[in-house]
Amino acid sequence: MTEPATPAAAPWTSWWTDLRVAATFLTRLPGFAVSGHADLARAMRAFPLVGAALGLLVGLVYALAYGMGLPPLAAALLALAASALATGALHEDGLADLADGLAGGQDAGSRLAIMADGRIGAAGALALLFGVGLRAAALAALATPGVAAAALVAAAAGSRAIFPALLHRLPPARPGGLGAMAGVPSSEVALAAFGLGALIVLICLGLATGLAAILAAALAVAALAATARRALGGQTGDVLGAAQQVAEIAILLVAAAALGSA
């Protein structure tokens, strides 16, 4: 008698589990641990939802700082600091490591070795400087807390929606990397994540600005993916982190250009 209820409950249970797995992977926030086997490849469909939640949290920090009378740039920097704390600066670390590897290596092996080194070089430091600076400047241009929060949600969700597609399309650059650990997401998971992320971007930024932001992020990530394939032979966790940062910057810049005077 209990069997008919199982199919109806399974999808919701599956999505809730995926949300917890995604939050465990993408954040350093407590309370999301999942016991037993966790299917990270499938859970990547929920990455945009976790990103949207992070964007809301960071947007709240921006609104509180702005409401206290701080100038927009200071509020933006505080919001980005909150984002780094919530995620453990996971993606920023990837951006810095990839920049160091591409700048210092002569071939794929030497580049990967540099990326595996925990020390940061000049190229990595500059990548972090420009990455944080561009995001902060874009947020400061938006000024209004509501618009800035919407842009943060769009950028956080849209930039994390690209992970499954990259893992699906790019082979691992080294054995035992993220691709080998997480498994390869199916095309259905990649499409679900991209569709969900795109929907959130369109809702937050509107049709015209949202489409422009999606296109800009897609082009930026495609260029980075092509570089990673050529220079490294595929993807690593650092490549994925850098892709998230590049996509987030692209979305925020488009939002600032289109909505900065709103």
Inter-residue contact 214 to 150 (CB < 8 Å): no
Bridge partners (DSSP) of residue 172 are 235
Round to whole Å and give the CA distance between 195 and 205: 15
Q: Residue range 190-209: average pLDDT?
A: 97
Residue type, 190: A
| CA 98 – CA 42 distance, rounded (Å) | 26
Query: In which band, very low, low, confident or very high, does the pLDDT at 3 lie, cut at 50, 70 and 90?
Result: very low
How much is the pLDDT for 178? 63
List, for residues 219-261, the tens digit of each pLDDT value: 999 999 999 999 999 999 999 999 999 999 999 999 999 998 6
Q: Are 235 and 173 in contact (CB under 8 A)?
A: yes
3-state helix, strand, coil in the chain (%, to 5): 80, 0, 20
Q: What pLDDT is attached to residue 90?
A: 92
Tokens for 119, please give them: 């020390």
User: Span 31-45, mean pLDDT?
Assistant: 69
| Averaged pLDDT of the chain | 90
Question: pTM of the full predicted structure?
Answer: 0.92
The yes-or-no verdict on residue 32 having pLDDT over 70 is: no
Contact 132, 124 (CB under 8 A): no
Q: What is the pLDDT of residues 154-186, one digit of tens each?
A: 999 999 999 999 998 999 998 776 656 667 899
Please name every residue paired with 235 in a beta bridge, in sequence order, or none if there are none.
Answer: 172
pLDDT score for 37: 44
121 class by beta-carbon count within 10 Å (0-12 exposed, 13-18 middle, 19+ buried): middle
